[in-house]
Amino acid sequence: MPRAVFLDRDGVLIEDVDLLVREHQIQLLPGVPAALQQLKAAGFRLVVVSNQTVVARGLATELDVRRLQAAVAQAIVARGGPDLDGFYFCPHHPNATLPAYRIDCPCRKPRPGLLRQAALDGQLELSASFMVGDRLTDVAAGKRAGCRTIWLRTGQHLAPLIQTAEPLEPNLVPNFTCDTLAAAARWIHEAP
């Protein structure tokens, strides 16, 4: 069964600008295309998993989010990186401005729904897969899905925890912590 590296978007692939709703806000983080290329060459599927509260808040539509993701994917390829294999996002929030998105869903990280859906769709082996994110909620989602986890210290790792439906596990420890996706890719490459 194929394995994946699940990637949070903001703070992992691109700069976290808080509310990304316009293409000109997209800034790839250094070394991202090359790191993704290494992972792809090692046989991993590259799947982006992202909470998109901008939809719940009415700041962007689901189509906008997909267009922005296409721009991120294009920027990666334009700088020598590989094609991404999947994009899954949660448009919901328990306190959403738009009633249609105001649900306590199973897909908002730290819940593992996005990873589980991707695994179902792609027949991915979660126990052989990895989750890379800059927030502890990413780490929690990865662990709950049965993946190994990498916590990136790119800035938002220090931000207050996002609102979650239930408290995070008190003993939430990533398998590895580092500062760049390149370092994460090296560690994944050497992981048994």
Bridge partners of 163, per DSSP, are: none
Question: By CB under 5 A, which span of 104-112, 117-125, 138-146, 160-168 interacts with Zn ion?
Answer: 104-112
* Residues 125 to 164 in contact with Mg ion, rule: CB under 5 A: 134
Q: Tell me how far the alpha carbon of residue 128 is from its chain's centroid.
A: 17
Tell me if 147 sits within 8 A of 127, measured CB to CB.
yes
Find all residues with CB under 8 Å of 74, minimum gap 6, and list them. none
Interface residue with Zn ion, options 21, 105, 162, 168 (CB under 5 A): 105
Residue 88 near residue 118 (C-beta atoms within 8 A): yes
Is 84 an interacting residue with respect to Zn ion (CB under 5 A)?
no
Comparing CB distances to Zn ion, the nearer of 6 and 44 is 6
Binding mask 17-56 for Mg ion (x = CB under 5 A): ----------------------------------------
Asked if residues 131 and 152 have their Cβ atoms less than 8 Å apart, the reply is: no
Q: Which does 11 bind (CB under 5 to 8 A by kind): Zn ion, Mg ion, none?
A: Mg ion
Task: Catalog residues that contact Mg ion under the rule CB under 5 A.
Answer: 8, 10-11, 134
